[in-house]
Amino acid sequence: MKKSDNYEIQYRKNPDTGRIIIDIALDNYLEFFHEWDNSIFKKRDINPELAEFLDLCSEEIPLRKKLQIVLFLNTSEISQEKEELILISYRNYYNSLKRSEKRKTVRYIKISAISLFISFALLFTYGFLNNRKGYTVISKVFLESLLIGGWVFAWETIHLLFIDIIEPIRRYREIKRFLEADIRFKYLNEDT
**Read out DSSP for 33-101?**
B-TT--S-GGGPPBPHHHHHHHHHHHHHS-TTS-EEEEEEE--S---HHHHHHHHHHHHHHHHHHHHHH
Q: Tell me, what's the pLDDT at 192? A: 46
Count the residues in the chain. Answer: 192
105-108: long-range contacts, CB 8 A cutoff, minimum separation 24 = 105/165, 105/168, 105/169, 105/172, 108/160, 108/161, 108/164, 108/165, 108/168
In sequence order, what are the beta bridge partners of 187? 73
Mean pLDDT of 3-11: 75
Positive or negative, the CA dihedral 103, 40, 185, 52 is positive
Indicate the DSSP class of residue 19: P
Question: How far apart are alpha carbons 139 and 135 in whole angstroms?
Answer: 6
Question: How far apart are alpha carbons 28 and 95 in whole angstroms?
Answer: 24
Question: How far apart are alpha carbons 10 and 57 in whole angstroms?
Answer: 10
Q: Tell me, what's the pLDDT at 159? A: 94
User: For residue range 93-135, what is the model confidence (pLDDT) as tens digits?
Assistant: 999 999 999 999 999 999 999 999 999 999 999 998 888 777 7
User: For residue range 137-177, what is the model confidence (pLDDT) as tens digits?
Assistant: 888 899 999 999 999 999 999 999 999 999 999 999 999 99
Q: Tell me, what's the pLDDT at 39? A: 57
Q: SS3 breakdown of the chain: % helix, strand, coil, rounded to 5?
A: 65, 10, 25
Residue 162 vs residues 63, 138, 169, 170: alpha-carbon distances, Å: 20, 36, 11, 13
Positive or negative, the CA dihedral 14, 20, 24, 30 is negative
CB atoms within 10 A of CB 94: 21
| pTM for this prediction | 0.80
